[in-house]
Amino acid sequence: MTAIKAAIANLKGGVGKSTTTVMLADGLAYFYGLTVLVIDLDAQANSSQMLLTERGVQQASDQGKGTHHLLKQFMDGRATTAGPFIMPNAVSLEELRLAEEQDERKGWISALPSHPQLRLHELTLEEEWYSRSGTPTTLSDALATYFGGSFSMLDSLYDVILFDCPPHLSPLARAGLSLADVFVMPTIADAVSTWGTKQFSDWVGKFIAPDLPKRNFVLVTRFRDTRYSRQVLTELKEIYLKDRWFGPTIPESVHVLNAMDRAAPDSYNTFRGKYGGVKGDVRRLAERFSDFLSHRTGTTWQKIRD
């Protein structure tokens, strides 16, 4: 088994990257019974909080787990495997935990979380690297090589690895993108975000993935059903990103906000309890992503729940 690696990335912040990461993780674990690892490369640690709660993120860090601790190993020149930095249990659905307790794993989520400390390490690293006449490109390459090595043993443990990337083209975002088989680009149906997707696509196509259209899954998020939004959506699909695979359009919904606001580690009994009125949207997201992979990479997964 070799894990499918997907980077969730966009130049812009606030377009739903972290939310999409968590919805994909939940959707693939629940409907397809897959073992998913979420790697949070963003110092904002949003997907980590959505999965583990804010307190859980701090606890993880106190136990020496997280991408900031792994980055420190790189800075100190120590080769290591990522295993000890992972929180093995980032599951928020009782249904999945119960199956596991009965020794019948039917979908699971683990997390290599982030922590605000990552920002400080990143700044220190960039300052040191550039002062020794390194460049952003050599740093991104060195990080990709280091992470690639430390993640290699994870390939046999997980079906899917999702990288929640920071916005912009920071060295960590570039490293995540270059390690990925495919990348998911969440965007919003407005003019400003559309320009952002064009710039980002051009850049990724040029520097990371020359076969970009084949590897790109676009997800329009936070959709408000107005005439203006529908027009932008049509332009995105028929003109700007014509050659890409589109996921279902995810509505702007308080159900999404609720699902991401995980108050306590044991908050949700069922998938419906977590996602309420957007359960169908998350199911369609998982289904479309699975279709995308089977068409573009040949990977096929079987659904185990409806």
Ligand X SMILES: Nc1ncnc2c1ncn2[C@@H]1O[C@H](COP(=O)(O)OP(=O)(O)O)[C@@H](O)[C@H]1O
In the complex, the residues that contact ligand X under the rule CB under 6 A are: 13-19, 46, 221-222, 250, 252-253, 256-257, 260
Site string for Mg ion, 74-113 (x = CB under 5 A): ----------------------------------------
Could you say which of 10, 20, 35, 46 contacts Mg ion (CB under 5 A)? 46
Give the separation between CA 230 and CA 189, rounded to whole angstroms.
8
CB of 188 to ligand X, least distance (A): 9
Residue placing its CB nearer to Mg ion in the complex, 96 or 112: 112
Give Cα separations from 144 to 7, 171, 264 (angstroms). Answer: 13, 9, 34
Kindly give, in sequence order, each residue whose CB lies less than 8 Å from that of residue 87, ignoring residues fewer than 6 positions away. 52, 56, 60, 65, 110, 111, 112, 113
Select from ligand X, Mg ion, none the partner in contact with residue 191, using the beta carbon and a kind-dependent cut-off of 5 to 8 Å: none
222 in contact with Mg ion (CB under 5 A): no
- Percentages (nearest 5) of helix, strand, coil residues in the chain: 55, 15, 35
Q: Interior CA angle at 235 toward 234 and 239, to 5°? A: 120
State the distance between the two ends of the chain, measured CA to CA, in whole angstroms.
Answer: 25
Select from Mg ion, ligand X, none the partner in contact with residue 252, using the beta carbon and a kind-dependent cut-off of 5 to 8 Å: ligand X
Q: Which of the stretches 32-40, 42-50, 189-197, 233-241 binds Mg ion when contact is defined by CB under 5 A?
A: 42-50
Give the separation between CA 145 and CA 225, rounded to whole angstroms.
43
Q: Which of the stretches 11-19, 172-180, 210-218, 238-246 binds Mg ion when contact is defined by CB under 5 A?
A: 11-19
18 in contact with Mg ion (CB under 5 A): yes
| Other residues' Cβ atoms within 10 Å of the Cβ of residue 135 | 11
Kindly give, in sequence order, each residue whose CB lies less than 8 Å from that of residue 34, ignoring residues fewer than 6 positions away. 28, 107, 108, 159, 160, 301
CB of 45 to Mg ion, least distance (A): 9
Residue placing its CB nearer to ligand X in the complex, 97 or 168: 168
Select from ligand X, Mg ion, none the partner in contact with residue 253, using the beta carbon and a kind-dependent cut-off of 5 to 8 Å: ligand X
Residue placing its CB nearer to ligand X in the complex, 157 or 260: 260
CA 47 distance to own-chain centroid: 8
Residue placing its CB nearer to Mg ion in the complex, 187 or 290: 187
